[in-house]
A and B are shown apart, each in its own frame.
Chain A
Amino acid sequence: MSRFAAAFGKSAPALVCFITAGDGDTAANLDALVEAGADVIELGMPFTDPMADGPAIQAANLRSLGAGTTTHDVFKIAFEFRERHKDVPLVLMGYANPMVRRGPEWFGSQCAAAGVDGVICVDIPPEEDDALGPTLREFGVAPIRLATPTTDAARLPQVLAGSEGFLYYVSVAGITGKQQAQIESIEANVARIKQSSDLPVAVGFGVRTPEQAAAIAKVADGVVVGSALVEICGEYGAEAPAKLRELTSALAQAVHTARQD
């Protein structure tokens, strides 16, 4: 069974946690997330031009690059994470250019060697899948696609075709870390996607609090939290792991018990 299948096959919904690689002591921060109950890790690859991200993750990208983080560093963080955590699915999330810079084969082989389970590339839609998708599949790395409120019924099959691991439902038309969508709209869209696919559906963008996470966990297979965690990394530096542990525990508790009442 793949790590994704195991993580999303538990009796409770999954908590997916995002932080940016190279923004502070990433190894310590990742350990804190896992120890506090994160079921899936998304590791952001820093990029100079994060067009789909709001201020919090933009700032994290710049902090990371300012500290000199390279693509090799990102893979080193991933490789060492995999050595410490054998079972936790690890996803790299980022933008096309750093992923294709040395060619898709190089990137796919590095992902496989580092134990990366899946890749979310924000700016490679299904129409440009050739740029990376076939190579990732060849290396056994799941291309994870995004569906959004603008992905209509006619388009959804194209998004789902070739998607692996899980489907990331972006709950708002907008950038990361901003407003959250109405739960009714999320519920309807997740239901719509699940009619057409067996993939687990995780919902993200704008989820900050345990209360929001719990509401989403009632209607989805997973909840993604990013900006709120990234802000902690930025604000607390070396003290971030303790603070991350605190928020992640509360989020995990909320997500894992959301369907019990």
Chain B
Amino acid sequence: MNTPLNSFRNLPDERGHFGQFGGRYVAETLMPLVLDLEREYRAAQADPAFQAEFDDLLEHYVGRPSPLYFAPRLTEELGGAQVWFKRDELNHTGAHKINNCIGQILLAIRMGKTRIIAETGAGQHGVATATVCARFGLPCVIYMGAEDVKRQSPNVFRMKLLGAEVVPVTSGGATLKDAMNEGLRDWVANVHDTFYIIGTAAGPHPYPEMVRNFQSVIGKEARAQMLDRTGRLPDLLVAAIGGGSNALGLFHPFLDDPTVKMLGVEAAGHGLDGDEHAASLLGGTPGVLHGNRTYLLQDEDGQITEGHSISAGLDYPGIGPEHAWLKESGRVDYTAVTDEEALDAFQLLCATEGIIPALEPSHAIAAVKKVAPTMPKDSIILANLCGRGDKDIFTVAERLGVEL
């Protein structure tokens, strides 16, 4: 029988803790809801009909399984390990976010909730939430930092086309964390009918576990596809980390494969030596925010500091609690790449593979660019291409000095 020490895959514990991280740090008003959500999620997990509906929607609506793709020209360019991509950017709505939204909206409907709220940074989670709300005919309010509304106007328009109400949040730094504050304020005032679809593997228990499980379809598919195509497991997994859901989705099914190393890539912004980055694990310290204990960007008094990244989706001062635990346990390595490195990687993938990646996975590609040349040619890197770059072309054009 497995004891907890034999596996990296059986946390959180019954209180939602991953070691010292995770938990349910929410106001009392929300606590009964969070407990209710956990009960309903456990019932859904045990219900084959729920899983069948989830699988059916992922196949016929999202377009899963997403391809596993060997990148020949990038591999040749880097001159080391074979580089493979899990193509989650080909999902309906253009990113991995939809996997989780399908799962959560099915749960919301199961719980009889009639109104959906969500926070969004880059707008990918907002678009995915607005999409499933349109698909199931539920009204939807998306909280988005006013700064991000400016940076990501195409996604704002997409959300509106899909019928969502987009509320710009002007408090604090007007980015993702402030949008999450506003989402929590809405939820606490509308507990009777509202379901909060959190977009990453963070927040109070059971969200980190639930989001991870919905996203684990990425790693389950990739593991089977890789075995089928190459007859073996990859040597290294690489994924970008904001809150960390695409990385956990890829990593989790491999955590108990001891030969598979893993690398999570945070946003170093203008560099880890200054304070303009979004690398909570490498540049932060443990604390409590948005329902969980995890690594945070904060000052000596515990005031939260603003993250910075060229990628709005990585611009969050916290990280999912399971990543905090995986870092402390040593199972996963973490690194960070700068805005500049991500921009270079963005262009490299466009030029070598004909794929325009989002700025979030461009961080993963930048890390691949560094590590692939140091590995033997018969080794395999599998990176998660978690979003496509259409939404980012304006940001990139501006950084490259191109007028559109």
Contact = CB atoms under 8 A, between A and B. Distances in A.
Interface of A: 47-52, 54, 58, 62, 65, 70-71, 95-101, 122-125, 127-128, 131, 145-152, 155, 159, 170, 172-175, 178
A145 B189 CA distance: 19
Contact of B15 (A127, A146, A155, A178): A127
Interface in B268-288: 287-288
B374 interface: no
B189 A101 contact: no
A108 to B, nearest CB: 15
A48 B173 CA distance: 10
Nearest to A179: B189
Nearest to A107: B302
Given A47-B303, A148-B28, A170-B28, A175 B188 contact: yes
A173 B29 contact: yes
Contacts of B15: 127
Contacts of A99: 302
Given A51-B185, A98-B301, A150 B289 contact: no
Interface stretch (B19-27, B76-84, B258-266, B328-336): B19-27
* The 6 residue pairs across chains A and B that have the minimum distance between CB atoms: A101-B302, A174-B189, A98-B302, A96-B288, A97-B302, A148-B29
B177 interface: yes
16 contacts: A47-B303, A48-B172, A48-B303, A49-B181, A49-B304, A51-B185, A52-B188, A70-B301, A71-B301, A95-B288, A97-B288, A101-B301, A123-B25, A150-B28, A150-B33, A178-B189
B296 interface: yes
Interface in B170-213: 171-172, 177-178, 181, 184-185, 188-189, 191-192
Interface in B313-337: none
Given A146-B28, A150-B33, A155-B32, 4 more contacts: A50-B181, A100-B302, A148-B28, A178-B189
Most buried by A among B32, B296, B304: B32
A101 B28 contact: no
A65 B188 CA distance: 25
A125 B26 contact: yes
Contact of A151 (B23, B32, B288, B290): B32
B172 A122 contact: no
Given A97-B289, A146-B27, A173 B32 contact: no
B290 A147 contact: no
Nearest to B192: A173
A97 B304 contact: yes
A100 B287 contact: yes
Contact of B191 (A62, A150, A152): A150
A128 B290 contact: no
B201 to A, nearest CB: 19
Interface in B65-92: none
Contacts of A172: 189
A71 B32 contact: no
A104 B328 CA distance: 21
Given A49-B181, A97-B298, A100-B287, A123 B26 contact: yes
State the main secondary structure of chain A at its contact with B.
Answer: loop
A99 B291 CA distance: 15
Contacts of B189: 172-175, 178
Given A48-B172, A175-B185, A122 B27 contact: yes
Contacts of B191: 150, 173
Interface residues of B, number: 36
A170 B29 contact: yes
A49 B289 contact: yes
A29 B224 CA distance: 66
Contacts of B177: 49
A190 B287 CA distance: 34
A178 to B, nearest CB: 7
A49 B291 CA distance: 12
A240 B290 CA distance: 33
B398 interface: no
Contacts of B184: 51-52
A127 B14 CA distance: 11
A149 to B, nearest CB: 8
Nearest to A154: B32
Contacts of A100: 287-288, 302
B187 to A, nearest CB: 10
A22 to B, nearest CB: 11
A150 B24 contact: no
B47 interface: no
B139 to A, nearest CB: 19
B27 A51 contact: yes
Contacts of B301: 70-71, 98, 101
Contacts of B25: 96, 123-125, 128, 131
Contacts of A125: 24-28, 31
B403 interface: no
B194 to A, nearest CB: 11
A127 B32 contact: no
Nearest to B32: A150
B300 interface: yes
A103 B172 CA distance: 26
Contacts of A131: 23, 25, 288, 293
A65 B287 CA distance: 19
Contacts of A95: 288
A58 B172 CA distance: 9
Contacts of A58: 171
Contacts of B304: 48-49, 97
A128 B289 contact: no
A159 B28 contact: yes
Most buried by A among B189, B293, B300, B301: B301
